[in-house]
């Protein structure tokens, strides 16, 4: 069975990815297995570029093929911001997820609702010789001015999914692993990951 390193120390991401890839015959490893905590500068202006930076850094550090994702929230009224800068959107140097949500709502307060938005996710797998596969996922919705739900992180509590009367943070694990941008990116990567597991790529 081939090893695949999940190139993140975020427990929420590790949980989501592990569930979605549960039926792929891979041995999923985490940085904690190696006592590894890399600090990767994510200075690309694209989601795929940032995912590549993370996946390639972890692959180089461990010698294992590594899967990384980069995601962001794009709000129509803000011209697509915060986008790739979603995690660093708040000017506070040690901003929490709640701080980032509050800052976003403050920026949107001058615009009429609905505040249309979408979550974007790029997933890449890199080996020590370079990129092996990539996939893309997107989840449309809108930003709402109240916090709802506990089962999420980032902007999940203020992101209302299109066609649902629930925020991302109100979804149970099963539904989130079907509907989220990360889930959709990983689902689109499943055929290639099956080939990877069989040693074809």
Catalytic residues: 70
- Which two three-digit tokens encode residue 120? 């974007």
DSSP-based three-state secondary structure for 41: coil
Contact yes or no for 98/106 (Cβ under 8 A): no
Instruction: Quickly count: other Cβ atoms within 10 Å of residue 108's Cβ.
Output: 18
Burial class (CB in 10 A: 0-12, 13-18, 19+), 11: exposed
Both tokens of 114, joined, read 């609905």
3-state helix, strand, coil in the chain (%, to 5): 40, 25, 35
Euclidean distance between CA atoms 34 and 183, whole angstroms: 26
DSSP collapsed to 3 states, 77-105: HHCCCEECCHHHCCCCCCCCHHHHHHHHH
């Amino acid at each position: 069975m081939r090893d695949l390193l999940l190139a993140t120390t975020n427990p929420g991401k590790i949980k989501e990815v592990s569930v979605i890839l549960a039926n792929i015959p891979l041995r999923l490893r985490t940085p904690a297995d190696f006592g590894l905590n890399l600090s990767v500068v994510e200075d690309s202006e694209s989601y795929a570029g940032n995912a590549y930076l993370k996946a390639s850094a972890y692959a180089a550090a461990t010698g294992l093929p590594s899967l990384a994702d980069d995601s962001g929230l794009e709000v129509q009224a803000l011209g697509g911001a915060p986008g790739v800068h979603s995690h660093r959107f708040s000017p506070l140097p040690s901003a929490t997820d709640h701080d980032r949500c509050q800052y976003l709502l403050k920026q949107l307060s001058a615009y009429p609702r609905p505040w249309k938005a979408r979550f974007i996710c790029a997933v890449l797998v890199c080996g020590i010789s370079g990129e092996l596969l990539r996939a893309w996922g997107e989840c449309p919705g809108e930003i709402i001015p109240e916090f709802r739900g506990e089962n999420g992180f980032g902007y999940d509590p203020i992101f209302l999914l299109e066609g649902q009367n629930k925020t991302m943070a109100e979804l149970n694990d099963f539904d989130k692993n079907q509907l989220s941008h990360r889930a959709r990116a990983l689902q689109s990567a499943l055929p290639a990951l099956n080939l990877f597991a069989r040693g074809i790529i």
